[in-house]
Structure 1
Amino acid sequence: MIRRNTIQCALVHEAVNKLRCHATADQIYDEVVKEHPNISRGTVYRNLQRLCELGDIRKREIPGGADRFDHLCSDHYHARCVKCGRVFDVDMEYIADMEKSIRDTHGFVFTGHDIVFKGICSECKSNP
């Protein structure tokens, strides 16, 4: 794949790195459009997909919520607050061979795993 760095792609990548909050595509668009009001939502979405394909960012599928985009590309776990919906990194070692513990694979060839813990974040706990 030929890697062309477009201004729009750089703007989207910069927004993901600036936000550092496991932002949704809409949140990233809102961040980019503050400085560049003429950029389209479709351009932002296409560049998010491109950055994922290039390995510059990672898309995290969050059960019960919108996909999030992570500036950290290393394997790690997440927690989602059940009150506010924000997503946080979990400070624990990634278990690389967890798939080997599965007894009945139902014919699957496993290629990895994502775990999202759920709970109540400290901010929501403090403000009931």
Structure 2
Amino acid sequence: MADMQYATQSRRRIFQFLKECNDRTVTASDVAEYLEKQNCAVNMTTIYRYLDKLAREGTIMKYVAEKGSQSAYQYVEPGRHCEEHLHLKCVKCGRIIHLDCHFMQEISHHILEDHNFALQCRNSVLYGICQDCREKENNS
């Protein structure tokens, strides 16, 4: 019984952390660090299993890591339809911007018609620098 309560409490804290960080991605290490600060020790295997479960359910997006780095995760608000649009990630601050505009229909259609390639948007990310970070660079 105590193990079940512990697991439930740790899962609730992980889920809350993901919701609080919904404008950026976090890694499993970020989750572990947060839990440690909350005096809620959870091993990394448990964290990864729960993150993978949430990703399979569609509650969070899993962005597969480049070789040598950790995968990143982001909470997805219900009804966001992240499988239908690309995501823009700032390489400076980690912020994620959802490219959920009419442009996605145009580019998906173009790629299919002109290149005979069906775009799969889920977990797809374009990297760059957001407006806030560009402004900080210009002001320094």
TM-score scaled to structure 1, two decimals? 0.69
Q: In the alignment, what sits opposite 2:73?
A: 69
> Where does 1:85-104 land on structure 2 (aligned, <5 Å)?
86-93=94-101, 95=104, 98=108, 100-101=112-113, 103-104=115-116
> Where does 1:102-113 land on structure 2 (aligned, <5 Å)?
103-105=115-117, 110=118, 112-113=120-121
**RMSD over aligned Cα, in angstroms?**
3.2
- Secondary structure at the aligned position of 1:78 is classed as strand
Equivalent pair of 1:24/1:68 in contact (CA under 8 Å): yes
Deviations for 1:19-73, whole angstroms, at most 9, x for unmatched residues? Answer: 2221122112211222134211221111101111122211123657642211125
Alpha-carbon spacing, 1:122–1:27, altered in 2? closer, same or farther (3 Å): same
Q: In the alignment, what sits opposite 1:47?
A: 50
Q: Give the unaligned 5+ runs of structure 1.
A: none
Deviation at 1:92, TM superposition (A): 4.2
How far apart in 2 are the matches of 1:36 and 1:43?
Answer: 16
How far apart in 2 are the matches of 1:23 and 1:93?
Answer: 25
Q: Give the unaligned 5+ runs of structure 2.
A: none
Equivalent pair of 1:79/1:118 in contact (CA under 8 Å): yes
More helix, by proportion: 2
Query: What is the aligned-residue identity percentage?
Result: 13
Q: Any runs of at least 4 consecutive aligned residues in structure 1 with deviations exceeding 4 A, and if so which?
A: 62-65
Alpha-carbon spacing, 1:90–1:50, altered in 2? closer, same or farther (3 Å): closer
How far apart in 2 are the matches of 1:13 and 1:63?
Answer: 24
Equivalent pair of 2:90/2:130 in contact (CA under 8 Å): yes
Q: In the alignment, what sits opposite 2:128?
A: 118
TM-score scaled to structure 2, two decimals? 0.64
Deviation at 1:124, TM superposition (A): 5.4
- Secondary structure at the aligned position of 1:36 is classed as coil
